[in-house]
Amino acid sequence: MKEKDHALYEAFISKDPRFDGRFFVGISSTGIYCRPICKARRPKEENCSFYSTAAEAENAGYRPCLLCRPEMTPGNSIIDSSSKLAHSAARYIEENCGNIYSINEIAEYLGCTDRHLRRIFTEEFNVSPVQYLQTCRLLLAKNLLTETNLTIVDIAMASGFGSLRRFNDLFKNHYRLSPTALRKQLPEDGENSKEIRVSLGYRPPYLWDEMLNFLAYRAIPGVEYIVDNKYMRTISMVKMNGEYVYGWMKVGHNEKKNALNVEVSESLIPVLTQVISRVKSLFDLNCDPYIIYENLMSMKEINPELPVLGTRLPGCFNPFEMSVRAVLGQQITVKAASTIAGRLVNAYGKPIETGIEGLTHVFPLPEDIVLLDSPIENQLGPLGIIKTRSRTIYSLAEAFVENTIDFSHSANIEEEIVKLLEIPGIGNWTAQYIAMRTMEWTDAFLETDVGVKNAMPTSTPKERLQMAEKWRPWRSYANINLWNSL
């Protein structure tokens, strides 16, 4: 066995959660592949082979373990990759696997040829984009079979299979049992429910209370609600055919399984993969907490209790909502900004029935704002939004409608920040905060922020920025550590 494989075997038998998602282990004696944290009996070293992705393991003929459930594996931060384009493609496939019709569609989204995409993707992951897409669909279907009572037909459609027959054939071919047979083989502790639930894994530790407190402090009335240690929100999303769907979700913490439990309304089945992807972004589930902790150790020079292992970077679920919320928060308190955001929702958000107290509206769409009568300040002013911010919000809405700024995780962040700064009313703090929350930018630093200033009271903004150079490329996490220390 190669020296590298021996090191991976040692990591595998250690069951160390830091390696979860970094590789998968194919076991020739059983024909299954496992996560590094699998609690099954340790296999012999000579029976193990190692793969960088679940798709690569399945392409080698292995089927997923029913105990450790590879479909719950946390992903990897895009900054870890030497090929951003390949990882952007992988993220796009994961988010849209239920609605992708061709690889050319992915290439067009990323601005490259399908031939180039296939080449760089195969070099990075050792499987083709088509094989990766197929594995994403199968693993999503396996998750739904395991944790919901959705019909086999609904699961096939939600997972992106064009027909029930194709779904059954591929499932049997790859996993050597039918979807119905899998349900019969579930462990006794499998949480089967009439609700649509999925479990999403993370690398521990995870400071859930701190994350929930951060979101609760900034929650938009009517749209977001935190109660009983759960985050809940309304959702509006658009299907591939342009039709909007509306619903709700709840997210809770399962510390014993190092996972978040996500429950969504039945109305969101057509966009389930997008919902899952946005939950991962919002709760930073692809984070490797140990790498970040080690890179921020010099923060002890300013506070011996920092950094805190397990700190996550809150992302966002709705980029337009987050961008508007950032503008509303300029030069006023967080509480005041939430109050004004609630007024905006009541005035222009769509009312929906959720059956959940506190969840009454979806946030206004950018199209809703663009269609308001001019001048915009006459519409938003009565809500307590001053003229300059009203116009900034209108310009942001135009940018979303016209797609002139890329708010996705695959954005060229420096270029998009320049575009944001060209919008009147958006300065450096707002542009970096929007990039940090919507584009998953790990290297923003808000040296003029009031909270950062209070956490580093003896330094000037220039000195804070200079000190933060040591924390690259994880300065966004330094912001969160500083805020949490208050």
Q: What is the pLDDT of residue 44?
A: 94
Measured CA to CA in angstroms, residue 357 lies from 25, 145, 234 at distances of: 45, 30, 11
- ∠ CA 440-50-155, nearest 5°, is 60
For the chain, the domains span 3-62, 78-184, 192-292+312-364
Give bridge partners of residue 227 from the DSSP assignment: 230
Kindly state the percentage of the chain with pLDDT values over 90.
Answer: 81
CATH of region 192-292+312-364: 3.30.310.20
**Are the CB atoms for 196 and 182 separated by under 8 Å?**
no
224-227, strands of its sheet edge to edge: 196-201, 259-264, 244-254, 230-238, 224-227
- ∠ CA 220-225-485, nearest 5°, is 80
Mean pLDDT for 76-100 is: 80
What confidence tier does 195 reach under pLDDT thresholds 50, 70, 90? low
Pick one of 3.40.50.2020, 3.40.1390.10, 3.40.10.10, 3.40.1160.10 as the CATH number of 3-62: 3.40.10.10
Q: What is the pLDDT of residue 78?
A: 61
- What angle separates helix 428-438 from helix 319-328, to the nearest 10 degrees? 150
186 pLDDT exceeds 90? no
Mean pLDDT for 261-269 is: 94
Q: What is the pLDDT of residue 149?
A: 83
pLDDT per residue over 293-324, tens digit each?
Answer: 999 999 999 999 999 999 999 999 999 999 99
pLDDT per residue over 374-414, tens digit each?
Answer: 999 999 999 999 999 999 999 999 999 999 999 988 888 99
Mean pLDDT for 446-453 is: 96
pLDDT per residue over 327-343, tens digit each?
Answer: 999 989 999 999 999 99
Q: Left if phi > 0, otherwise alpha if psi is -120 to 50, otherwise beta: which for 310?
A: left
Range with the largest mean pLDDT of 107-111, 158-162, 237-241, 448-452: 448-452
Mean pLDDT for 125-149 is: 92
Higher pLDDT, 391 or 239: 391
Consecutive H or E run containing 437: helix 428-438
Q: What is the pLDDT of residue 190?
A: 45
Superfamily per CATH, domain 78-184: Homeodomain-like (1.10.10.60)
Cα dihedral 245, 134, 73, 7, rounded to 10, equals: -160
Q: What is the pLDDT of residue 460?
A: 96
Q: What is the pLDDT of residue 409?
A: 83
What confidence tier does 292 reach under pLDDT thresholds 50, 70, 90? very high
Q: What is the mean pLDDT of the chain?
A: 93
Cα dihedral 437, 438, 441, 443, rounded to 10, equals: -30
d(CA 45, CA 167): 34
Q: What is the pLDDT of residue 410?
A: 82
| DSSP at 359 | B
Mean pLDDT for 277-283 is: 96
Three-class SS of residue 197?
Answer: strand
Q: Specify the pTM.
A: 0.91
Three-class SS of residue 56?
Answer: helix
82 pLDDT exceeds 70? no
273 pLDDT exceeds 80? yes
Mean pLDDT for 446-450 is: 95
d(CA 463, CA 440): 25
What confidence tier does 104 reach under pLDDT thresholds 50, 70, 90? very high
Lowest mean pLDDT among 113-127, 142-156, 161-175, 176-190: 176-190
